[in-house]
Structure 1
Amino acid sequence: MANNNELALVKKDTVDVVASKVKQFQEAGELHFPAHYSPENAMKSAWLKLQEVKAKNGNSYVPILEHCTKDSIANSLLNMVVQGLNPAKNQGYFIAYGKSLTFQRSYFGTMAVTKRVTGAKSINASVIYEGDDVDYEMVNGRIKNLTHKQKFGNLNKENIIGAYCVIDLGHDDVYTELMTIDELRQAWSQSQMWGKEQTKEKKGSTHDNFKQEMAKKTVINRACKKFLNSSDDSSLVIDHFMQQDEKIEEAQAQQEVSENANKEFIDVEYNEVEEDSPPQQEKEQETPTEPQNEFEQAAQDLDKQTQDEGPGF
């Protein structure tokens, strides 16, 4: 791990810079935090977390504060603070893709941002099992008046057929998102832990062992994102909320390009040697290695709870 002097320099170039930027946003009236949220405390918690997190570098793991670029560290902290989130409350996680650090919201964080922006009273999700009685109306393309009757005997993770999330905005204004099991699995298939040919949950995997919770988390994320996408709020918070997935996808894409940059395939032409001809000596051809770019390193394994909220839910 870096010594105290090195850590102090990184902190000066990241935490202090972000704190100054946040102060500018506040003074300009672009950013308002809830009464219970302290950006200073959130960044202190984040800084402690950052000193513990490691990124994969070849066959070993190294501290992300040594491995990732200072710009990406600062941007991930700014993304966290603007959204009013705190990693100490499991509202998000820091994940390295190559040398690019990203802040990835958990579904707790997604709910927190949604409540903050919309003033929602509550956000709740439930799983639908085979044999449950579910009824609702479609009004102007939105689900209305959803009712769900469930019997205790139906509670079996192998019989899940769907899930829904209800965002209660008060004054009889309710937003409902409904997903079938096929839609849930399609979302889960975006996870790096899901095999290419996989169509169902692997026995013993997170999606299998905690299928009910995974279904709830996925539909909550879908509901909050869809609801906020339809919002006409152009605040700084919404901008950062919307940009997060794009930044993560961009970092993943650049990392993939970097990993494949040196995998050059050479098409060699050859002439068939006649049987009586002496064999020609083959000279091994060397392919020059391209210079590494900053995303050359392999991604940190997403074997954490939050990875299921990222693009894989």
Structure 2
Amino acid sequence: MSQENNTQLDKVKKDISAQVLAKVDAFQAAGELRIPKDYSPENALKSAYLILTEQENSQKKPVLEVCTKESIANALLKMVVWGLSPMKKQCDFIPYGNKLECSIEYTGNIVLAKRFGGLKDIKARAIFKQDQFEFEVNPETGKIKIVTHKQTLESIGSKDVVGAYAVMEMADGGRDVEIMSMQQIRDAWNQGAMKGNSPAHKNFPDQMAMKTVINRACKLLIRGSDDAVLFGDDDENAKPLDRVSEDVNQNIRENANKETLSFEDVEDAKFEEIKDEPAEISESETANGPGF
């Protein structure tokens, strides 16, 4: 790539980042959206910029060169809307041809469940074939209780995973359990491009199974939550952030990426077009199954 193109690309990168922050500031001034006190959109955008500067697609081409400036801007804005940090691996940026998407990691789902869904802590465990495992369901409440789970060093080293479960401790003192059989887990993996056949799935099926059950446990908490935490009495000084209005917020959470926001003020630049490039999926996304 020529020096002129390098300079132009660098300018576009900075323009996009500045444009997203300007959008956020505009929403903030309008009071349309709010974020918790513990999230800094400025820091998140800076860390995203550093990550994207070094990221390449499967053809070893810079993501910021290949992907359209509008898709990059929308991916960054979605990250801020969700209130997640790419530096902490709460979300990933995935190129699909010439379009960049922001994908939530299982750790991001934990953050959102804690922030909005009343989750205090969550622990997951894989169930191996030789384990002694028993659970029961309370017919009145529908809640699951783990009666016993005994493992040996031999069983956890077998890679013969038959299921996984997550134990949720809630902020109100309640507890709940989510259990998935290996068939359910594989059905979730089959939603991804790798169909559960990535090196991570083959070499660490227990870890990937635990990520999957954590995602499932957190999704219901997130979907059933409201934004009351953003407007609590102890949140007077929280910065109002622009979540791009309720319609866009709903679109992002439930129908992500079907429509893009307009960033017409971003200066035009030349980008290489990749046609019919296969989508790149992160290992975590293939394990997660459909996003929430």
Q: Is the Cα–Cα contact under 8 Å of residues 92 and 104 in structure 1 kept in the other structure?
A: yes
Using the TM superposition, name which of 20-29 and 89-98 deviates more.
20-29
Q: Distance in 2 between matches of 1:108 and 1:35?
A: 19
1:296 alignment partner AA? K
Q: SS in structure 1 opposite 2:83?
A: coil
The aligned residue for residue 9 of structure 1 is 12
User: What is aligned with 1:80?
Assistant: 79
TM-score, structure 1 normalization:
0.71
Post-superposition shift, 1:129?
2.5
Aligned partner of 2:280 in structure 1 is: 301
**Superposition map of 1:152-191 within 5 A:** 152-153=152-153, 154-191=155-192
Paired with 1:74 and 1:160, the residues of 2 have a C-alpha distance of 41
Question: 2:256 corresponds to which residue?
Answer: 247
Higher relative contact order (CA 8 A, sep 6+): 2
Q: Is the 8 A contact 1:105 1:310 kept in 2?
A: no
* Whole-Å separation in 2 of the counterparts to 1:228 and 1:136: 25
How far is 1:305 from its partner? Answer: 4.3
In the TM superposition, residue 244 of structure 1 has moved relative to its aligned partner by 5.0
Return the alpha-carbon distance in structure 1 between the equivalents of residues 276 and 253 of structure 2.
21
Structure 2 residue 94 is matched with structure 1 residue 95: yes
1:240/1:296 CA distance change after superposition, 3 Å: farther
Gap change, CA 1:135 and 1:6, over 3 Å in 2: closer
Aligned-partner Cα distance in 1 for 2:150–2:251? 35
Is the 8 Å Cα contact of residues 91 and 109 (structure 1) preserved in structure 2?
Answer: yes
> What is the CA distance between 1:111 and its match in structure 2?
0.8
**How far did residue 73 of structure 1 move?**
0.7
Please list the CA deviations of residues 61-94 of structure 1 after superposition, one character each: whole Å capped at 9, or x if unmatched. Answer: 3222222111111110011112111111111111
1:231-260 CA-to-partner distances (Å, cap 9, x unmatched) read 355985997487357436x59xxxxxxxxx
Contact kept? 1:157, 1:212, Cα under 8 Å: no
Q: Which runs of 4+ in 1 moved over 6 A?
A: none
Secondary structure of the 2:127 match is: strand
Count how many residue pairs are aligned between Structure 1 and Structure 2. 259
Equivalent pair of 1:163/1:179 in contact (CA under 8 Å):
yes
Distance 2:136 2:60 in 1: 50
- Using the alignment, how far apart are the partners of 2:109 and 2:94 within structure 1? 17
- CA deviations over 1:198-239 (Å, ceiling 9, x no partner): xxx66x832121111101100111111122223355985997
Judged with a 3 Å threshold, the aligned counterparts in structure 2 of structure 1 residues 245 and 25 are, in CA distance, closer, same or farther, namely: same
Structure 2 letter corresponding to 1:228: I
**Is the aligned partner of 1:136 residue 2:126?**
no
Structure 2 counterpart of 1:212, one-letter code: D
By how many angstroms is 1:97 displaced? 0.9
Query: Once structures 1 and 2 are overlaid, which stretch shifts more, 237-246 or 40-49?
Result: 237-246
Shift of 1:147: 3.5
In structure 2, distance between residues paired with 1:230 and 1:83: 16
2:76–2:102 contact (8 Å) kept in structure 1: yes
Structure of larger gyration radius: 1
- Tell me by how many angstroms 1:184 deviates: 0.6
Structure 2: distance between partners of 1:115 and 1:244: 17
8 A Cα contact 1:97 1:295, kept in partner: no
Unaligned runs of 5+ in 2: 231-242, 260-272
Q: 1:10 to 1:106 in 2, by over 3 A?
A: same
Is the 8 Å Cα contact of residues 133 and 148 (structure 2) preserved in structure 1?
A: yes
How many Å apart are 1:38 and its aligned residue?
Answer: 1.6
**3-state SS of the aligned residue for 1:88?**
coil
Structure 1 gap segments, 5+ residues each: 195-200, 252-293
What SS does the corresponding residue of 2:87 show, helix, strand or coil?
A: helix
How far is the alpha carbon of 1:133 from its aligned partner?
A: 2.6
What is the identity, as a one-letter code, of the residue corresponding to 1:9? V
1:214 aligns with 2:214: no
Aligned to 1:46: 48
Distance 1:87 1:157, change over 3 A: farther
Deviates more, 1:235-244 or 1:216-225: 235-244
Instruction: Give the letter for the 2:12 counterpart.
Output: L
